[in-house]
Amino acid sequence: MREIIIIGSGPAGFTAAIYAARAGLNPLLLASSVEAGGELMNTTEVENFPGFPEGIQGPDLMMKLQEQAEKFGTEVILDDVTSLHLDGDIKTVHTGYSGTFEARSVIFATGSAYRKLGLADEERLSGRGVSWCATCDGFFFKTKTIAVVGGGDSAMEEATFLTRFAEKVYVVHRKDTLRASKIMQERAFQNEKIEFVWNSEVVGISGESAVEALSLRDTVTGEQSELPVQGLFVAIGNDPRVHLVHGQLDLTADGTIAVQGRSSKTNLPGVFAAGDVIDPHYRQAVTAAASGTVAALDAEQFLAALDQVEESSRVDLAAALADEVDDLVAAD
């Protein structure tokens, strides 16, 4: 049985692994078989992770985090967790093809998944012009006219990145102000290839075998219009990945895993959560990393307390046995 299993391979998971490994807990980190490394694998330049004044590419940062975790003894397995049993003293983790693992503690750091618009044609045209990842698919839109939907940092980042390929990028946003940080907004405003379509919601996507146009609805007047584009990048945020723990871990109203105060402690003893899966607000690589640290320290304390309890019950048992032997000897 393992001391600790970490589920998730973003900044939270790997930072938890670095701390747990340095504490001698030999963690097992289960990274997804297809999405290992988390969201930073789909990012280009990361300019705000402390310690990298020149910026660092998202995938390079993740490789460095993994290298650091492995250097101290983390075992990393690329496999998908299919189900979990978190109740009780022994936690059981079932995976796709690597079998079942048991541990005395689990850190759940599965991050979040791209939010969808929820339109019928979104799925149908996924991979045929509809995408959630500019760095993955931007190349296919050379000299095309495309749209990005959203008003946050992701949308600004995607739109700006996509101007490397596309001839024109519309940013469709449901309000007339952006949620994105000032620096990202400015970068997008100054880009001549980007045009903003304010107060507009995407209510339909048309095209037989590929995206041909978007149906937009004006959120102020209710008027409908068509925007001819060959691609749509959806950048409207993320939802925490909690499907594996439904019914086991308490959730907040935001859908994130509920933790006690500033700790990583969930409603189940020995189960800790970290990163975007507990954070509806900040959702930065560096806050996820810090959250991973908290989880590793909480897990370490939990295991130390458990060792103490087990040690004292061993001592009690030995004393009780000794008394019994003494009684038997006296009775003879």
Task: Single out the catalytic residue among 137, 153, 279, 298.
Answer: 137
Nearest residue (CB) to ligand NDP, 28 versus 178: 178
Separation CA 305–CA 285 (nearest Å): 30
Helix axes 11-22, 58-71, angle to 10 degrees: 20
DSSP-assigned letter for residue 285? H
**What ranges make up the beta strands (E) of the chain?**
2-7, 28-31, 45-46, 56-57, 75-78, 81-85, 91-95, 100-108, 112-114, 130-131, 145-149, 168-172, 194-197, 200-206, 213-218, 224-228, 231-234, 238-240, 271-273
Residue 257 Cβ vs ligand NDP, minimum distance, rounded to whole Å: 17
Residue 6 Cβ vs ligand NDP, minimum distance, rounded to whole Å: 22
Give the footprint of ligand NDP on residues 70-129 (CB under 6 A): 115, 117
String marking each residue 292-321 x if it binds ligand NDP according to CB under 6 A = ------------------------------
Q: Which of 35, 157, 279, 298 binds ligand NDP (CB under 6 A)?
A: 157
What is the CA 221 to chain-centroid distance, rounded?
Answer: 37
Neighbours of 304 (CB within 10 A): 11
Q: Is 133 a catalytic residue?
A: yes
Reading the block at residue 218, the tokens are 């004006």
Residue 149 found at the interface with ligand NDP (CB under 6 A): yes
HEC string of 103-140? EEEEEECCCEEECCCCCHHHHHCECCCEECCHHHHHHH
Residue 152 found at the interface with ligand NDP (CB under 6 A): yes
Residue 10 found at the interface with ligand NDP (CB under 6 A): no
DSSP-assigned letter for residue 176? S
Q: Is 326 a catalytic residue?
A: no
Total of residues contacting ligand NDP (CB under 6 A): 18
Share in percent of the chain as helix, strand, coil (round to 5): 35, 25, 40
Residue 117 Cβ vs ligand NDP, minimum distance, rounded to whole Å: 6
Q: Which of 110, 165, 283, 296 binds ligand NDP (CB under 6 A)?
A: 283
Reading the block at residue 269, the tokens are 């003893």
Separation CA 41–CA 303 (nearest Å): 32
Residue 236 found at the interface with ligand NDP (CB under 6 A): yes
Nearest residue (CB) to ligand NDP, 153 versus 298: 153
Task: Single out the catalytic residue among 136, 250, 316, 326.
Answer: 136
Pairing verdict, β 75-78 and 28-31: parallel
Q: Is 89 a catalytic residue?
A: no
Q: Which of 153, 279, 298, 300 binds ligand NDP (CB under 6 A)?
A: 153
Residue 48 found at the interface with ligand NDP (CB under 6 A): yes
Reading the block at residue 20, the tokens are 């747990």
Residue 202 Cβ vs ligand NDP, minimum distance, rounded to whole Å: 7
Residue 59 found at the interface with ligand NDP (CB under 6 A): no
Q: Which of 22, 128, 179, 187 binds ligand NDP (CB under 6 A)?
A: 179
The neighbouring-strand residues paired with 265 are: 272
String marking each residue 189-228 x if it binds ligand NDP according to CB under 6 A = ----------------------------------------
Separation CA 129–CA 232 (nearest Å): 6
Q: Which of 64, 142, 164, 175 binds ligand NDP (CB under 6 A)?
A: 175
**So which residues are the catalytic ones?**
133, 136-137
Residues that bind ligand NDP (CB under 6 A): 48, 115, 117, 149-155, 157, 174-175, 179, 236-238, 283
